[in-house]
Amino acid sequence: MPDGAYAAIFDLDGVLTSTSARHEQSWRDAAAEFGFPVTAESLMATRSVPRATSLAALLAQAGVELDQAARDKVMAFKNARYKELIAGLKPSDAFAGAREALISCRSLGLKIGVASASMNSREVLDRLELIELVHHVADPREAAPKPSAEIYGISCAALGAFPGNAICIEDGKPMIANLRAEGMHTVGVGDTSLGAHEHVAAIADWDAAATLARLKR
């Protein structure tokens, strides 16, 4: 791929679709199965972070200690339950404008990546019938956990784009701060206080052509 390629790299949950409710339900089911309490507040700590980090946070807040073998069983149960829940995903579960945003990026010649903390991103994208529009889905096991920007750096390399030629579409404030520190252009989805270079209320409101033109100035 030639130097100077431009890329659009998307977070998944909260940007293209919402899987947080399914993640939280699978954690509730795992907690019930293995006998430790969770609350709505403690489940907030499981959003957009790896499974092991999520479990460590839940156990800490519950005041429960488990050895690694037991933790592995909890995580395996949680993942199996989550896969059951996402099996019901359908194209209409993608956010309004998500498919159109990806199509717009492709029409502009942008290489498209997805950089999510979830190891099930490819399956989710497949269920949403978006996978065929994406050039690269990053494996979170190959990068430091979010909000480290490493997974976006890996995506840039895979897509053949320099970090300064990458548009990163995210909904997490710490993640956006780290992406900006790496010289990547950020689009914040949702809250206008995210600190991104530009903000949109929802992915349907994003003008990819305008962002690319701004980046090329």
Q: Is the pLDDT of residue 207 over 60?
A: yes
Q: Is the pLDDT of residue 1 over 90?
A: no
Domains in the chain and their CATH numbers?
5-18+91-216 (3.40.50.1000), 20-86 (1.10.150.240)
Average pLDDT, the chain: 94
Cα distance between residue 217 and residue 215, in whole Å: 6
Q: What is the pLDDT of residues 72-88, one digit of tens each?
A: 999 999 999 999 999 99
Tell me, what's the pLDDT at 191? 86
Element (H or E) spanning 148, and its range? none
User: What is the percentage of the chain residues whose pLDDT exceeds 70?
Assistant: 99
Element (H or E) spanning 40, and its range? helix 40-43
Per the listing, tokens 């431009």 go with 6
Q: Is the pLDDT of residue 148 over 80?
A: yes
Q: Is the pLDDT of residue 212 over 80?
A: yes
What number of other Cβ atoms are within 10 A of residue 148's Cβ? 14
Helices vs. strands in the chain: H and E counts, helices first: 9, 6
| Span between the terminal Cα atoms of the chain, in Å | 22
Tell me, what's the pLDDT at 2? 39
DSSP alpha helix (H) spans, 87-172: 98-107, 121-127, 150-159
> Which DSSP letter does residue 19 get?
-
Q: Cis link prior to 163 (omega < 30° from 0)?
A: no
Q: What is the mean pLDDT of residues 57-66?
A: 95
CB contact set of 147 (below 8 Å; sequence gap of 6+): 172, 174, 175, 177, 178
Token pair, residue 216, equals 């090329």
Taken in order 139, 141, 147, 151, the sign of the CA dihedral is negative
